[in-house]
Amino acid sequence: MAIEPKKINLTLGYSMVFEDDGDPKYNILNIMPDYGGAYLWGAYNDSTYVGPNIADSWSGYDNRLPISEYLQEQFHHWQLQFDITAFEFDQEGLAQIQASKWSGQDIIWDWQKYHSEGIRLARLLKQEAPDYRVIYVTPAEDCSGIMADRTEVLLNGELLVLD
């Protein structure tokens, strides 16, 4: 199934809310795989930065976030595929060769399939955390151009490309 997000300019007014302990409450959940097990990042207001890591496969997640154990497990399996892959870059900075870090064998990496699963998980997260903006962020290793850099998942499952 092809991912076909709509492109719009989106400016929303979110205000920062603080928890009782004085820590800021994230209102944006960015989904982006990174090495070391990281897959979820918290941000505030209309930030275009992914923010600090708030959930990873190894140490869990910030327990203030409403994420089921089932969804955490799904994210773990999705992120692990990324974590065990080494992306090598050519002189132009494009990912050309992908190999498993553990086996040393070249593998065929399918960005379309990987992003489709990431979007599926983002939609599940949005259902579990409807009060948060959920944004799917394409990792820097993806030079395929098949997915926008930042795509918001709305409550109805619709995808909006962010500028």
Q: Is the entire prediction scored with pTM above 0.75? A: yes
The C-alpha atoms of residue 23 and residue 78 are separated, in whole angstroms, by 29
Cα separation, 119 vs 152, in Å, equals 10
pLDDT digits (tens, 9 = 90+) for 10-64: 333 333 334 455 555 678 999 999 888 888 988 887 777 788 888 888 777 666 6
Mean pLDDT of 88-111: 62
